[in-house]
Structure 1
Amino acid sequence: MWQVMWLEDRISGPDDLLVNVIMSLWIQRKGGLALIWNDPFDITICSYSVGHIDCIITHDHRVWRFTGFYGNPIPHLIQQSWDLLHRLAQMREFQHLPWLVGGDFNEILYEEEKIGGSMRSLSQMSAFREALNSCNLRDIHCLGDQFTWCNRRQQQDIIFERLDRFVCSSEWQLIYPSADVHNLDFYGSDHRLIMISNNPHLDGRFSKGPRRFTFEHKWMLEEDFPLLLEHWNNGGLPGDLPAKLSTFSGILNSWADTRFSHMARKISNLHKELSYLQHSRLAKDNYSRIASLEKEIEKLVVQEEIHWKQRARSNWL
C-alpha cells in the first residue's frame, strides 16, 4: 500500500497524520517545494524548479513517474506553467512511463469547481483543459468535499475553489485502477490536504477524529428515511446551525452504519434463502416470503448501484 499527499503552506496536523505517510509534498511559506518519502520507495529526482519536482518511483517491482506541480498564481503568467507541463510531457526518456501529477495547479477546469467571487475566465479554464489534454493527463475524481481552497472570508465574501488535484496518464490508471483521491481537512492552511492511495480499504477517515459527513443518495430508498428528517424538521436539535448540522449528521451516520453495513453479505444471504425457497417443494406455501425476498434484493441491488455511481470517476476529460 502507498499514499501520496499534497499540502500547500505547511503541515500542521496531528502527529498521527504522518504515521503512514509514504510521500508528501507541500509549498513552504517562504517558497519552494519539498519532497519526502519513506524507505520502501526508490526515488530518483529527475528535475526541479520553483514550480515542480519530477521524479521516478520504483516500488513493488513497478516503475512510474511522479511530478509535484505548482501553477503560477498570477493569471497572466500561468501559461508558463502549462508550457512547463508540456515540456515535461515531451521528455522522450520518460514518455514510456506511467505518469502521476499532483499539486496546486492554481486553476479550475469547470465553473462548477468554484463558488463565490467573480466568474472564472472561460479562456483560463479552457487553457488548463487543453494543457492536460495535450499531455494526455486525466483528472482523477476525488472523494470528499471537492473544494480544496477557501479564502476564509466572511460569509458574503467567501470563495471556494478546487485548485489542488491529482491527474494521471491512462497507463498509470491501468496499473493502479483502484487508486482514490481523498480531499481531507484544512490542517492549519487555506488549502485542504489531498491524498491519493491505492489502499482499497481507505474510506477517507485518515485521522482519528470524526469522519467527514457525506450524504448518500441510496438512503432515500429506505422507508424510514423520511422519519429521520423529522429530527431536523421538528426543530428539536439543540444549538446554533453548525451544532445542529453536526448533531444531525451524526444521527444519519449512526443510522447508516447499522443499516448499510456488510451490504454484499446481505445480498448474498438473501439470494441463498431465495434460491432455497424457490427450489423447495413448499415454494407455493412460501410465495409471500419469496416475493418479499425478491423485492428486498432488488432494492439492495439498486442501492449498491447508486452507491458506486456516486463514487464513479465520471470527471475524465
Structure 2
Amino acid sequence: MNIAFWNVRGTKRKNFAEELNFFSSSNGIKILAICDTKSTSKPEPFTTASFGFNNCDFVPSIGLSGGIWLFWKESISMTFSLKVLFRSIRFIACEICDLQNNLVFCLIFVYAPAQPSEKADFWSELENFVLNLELPFLLLGDLNEIKSPSEKEGGAKVTNARCVRLNKFLNNTNCVDLPFSGNFFTWRKKKTSSDNVFEILDKAVASPNWINSYPNLQFMHHAFTSSDHCPISVKFHEQAHKKAPPFRFELMWTLRNDFTKMVKSSWQYQFRGSYMFCLSQKCKLLKQKAKKWNQSTFGNIFRQLSIAEKKLENIQNQLGSSHATVLEVAQLKWLKK
C-alpha cells in the first residue's frame, strides 16, 4: 500500500498520462493524489484508467486554479479499503483500513495556498480538522511553507516570519515532519542559471501514534520531471518479487516495417484442425515471435526507463547533497528547543 502525492501543474500536457502511469506502476503506488489539476470536474473513467487506477474522487479547482484528483486501486487481493471522509477547497481526507496490519488511520492530501491573504484561514481550518481527529493520521501535500531557512536556496532571504505557520501547526497538532530520502528539494523555480530558487515545499507529516504503527516506512522525494514540483511517496514495505508481466501489444511496433513482415509470415503458417484451433495456434505463434522480436529490437523499455529515472535521481541528489548537512543540523537544533 504505497502512497504518493504530486503537484502536477495541470493535466493537459502531452504524454502526461503515460508519465503518471509509469511513475505509479514502477513505484507500486496504490493511492495517489495530484493537485493543481486546473479542473472543475471529476476525472473521466478513461482518464482514471489511463493513469493506472480504477477509482477516483476529487476536489474541484476554482476556475483554472487549484483542484485535487484522488486515485486508488481496488482488486480481488486488496490489502486496504478507502473511504472519503471530508473534502475542503484545499484538502481531502480519507479513512484507510489497512487490512494487512488490522489498522485504521486518516490520510489527508493537502494543497496549501501560496497567496498570503488565504493562508491564515487555511491553516486554521486544517489545524481544527486534525485536532478533532480520533484516528492516527498521515498528511501529504504541497504545504507552500518551509520550517527553516535551510529548506530554501536562492531568491529572497528567508525571514523568521516565513517559517512560523508550519512550525506552529506541527507544534499545535503534535505531529512530526517525516525524514526523507532522494532528491533534496521538492520545488524549483528556473530563472537564469545563477538565479534559480529551490525549496522543500512538499512534505509528509504524521502523528506519533501513526509513526509507531509503521516503523519501517520510507518517505521519498523523487526526481523532477515535467512539473516544477517533484513527486513524493511513502512506501510501507519492500515490494514482493513481481511476476513476469502479461503479454501486451505495443503501438510503437506498428511503426516498423519488419514487424508487419513478421505478422504476415506468422499468419501464413498452416495448422491442421478446426478454424478456432488454427486461429488460436496462429495467435500463440505470433505472440512468441513478437516477444523475441521486441526483445531484440527494443529490449526491456520499462527497465531502461527505470534505470534512466534512477540516474536522473542520482544526478539531482548529487546536486543537492551539499545541503543535507545544513538541514540535519537545523533539524537537530529544532528538536532541542
Which bin holds the TM-score, normalised by the shorter protein?
0.5 to 0.7
**Gap runs ≥5 in structure 1:** 216-244, 250-309
- Distance in 2 (CA, whole Å) between partners of 1:214 and 1:36 is 25
Identity fraction in percent: 24
Partner of 2:125: 84
Please list, as runs of the form range in 1=range in 2, the aligned pairs for 1:1-317 lying within 5 A after superposition: 2-9=1-8, 10=10, 12=16, 13=19, 15-19=21-25, 20-27=28-35, 28-29=37-38, 30=64, 31-39=66-74, 40=78, 41-60=80-99, 61-91=102-132, 94-95=133-134, 97-200=135-238, 207-212=306-311
How far, CA to CA, are the matches of 1:107 and 1:137 in structure 2? 16
Looking at structure 2, the residues matched to 316 and 57 of structure 1 have their Cα atoms a distance apart, in angstroms, of 31
SS of the counterpart of 1:178? Answer: coil
SS class of match (1:72): coil
Note the alpha carbon deviations across 1:102-151, whole angstroms, 9 max, x for none.
10000101101000001223122022101111011110011012210001
Over 3 Å off, 4+ runs: 205-208, 212-215, 313-317
Distance 1:89 1:157, change over 3 A: same
* C-alpha deviation, 1:99, in angstroms: 0.5
Cα distance in structure 2, aligned partners of 1:77 and 1:58: 33
- TM-score scaled to structure 1, two decimals? 0.62
- TM-score, normalisation: structure 2: 0.59
Q: CA deviation at 1:78?
A: 1.4
Give the 3-state SS of the residue equivalent to 1:73 in structure 2.
coil
Q: Is the 8 A contact 2:82 2:97 kept in 1?
A: yes
What letter corresponds to residue 73 of structure 1 in structure 2? A
The separation in 1 between residues aligned to 2:119 and 2:149, in whole angstroms, is: 18
**Partner of 2:229: helix, strand, or coil?**
coil
Gaps of 5+ in 2: 39-63, 241-302, 319-327
Deviation at 1:182, TM superposition (A): 0.9
Quick one: structure 1 residues 107 and 185, their matched pair in 2 at CA, closer, same or farther if it must change by over 3 Å? same
Larger relative contact order (CA 8 Å, sep ≥ 6):
1
- Contact 1:17–1:207 under 8 Å retained in 2: no
Give per-residue Cα distances to partners, 1:71-106, cap 9 Å, x unaligned: 111124212221122111222xx32x1110010000
Note the alpha carbon deviations across 1:145-175, whole angstroms, 9 max, x for none: 2210001221122100000010000000011
Judging changes above 3 Å, is the alpha-carbon distance between structure 1 residues 168 and 14 closer, same or farther for their aligned structure 2 residues? closer
Q: 1:178 to 1:212 in 2, by over 3 A?
A: farther
Contact kept, 8 Å, 2:145 with 2:166, in 1: the verdict is: yes
2:70 alignment partner AA: L
**SS of equivalent to 2:114:** coil
RMSD of aligned alpha carbons: 2.8
Shift of 1:212: 4.8
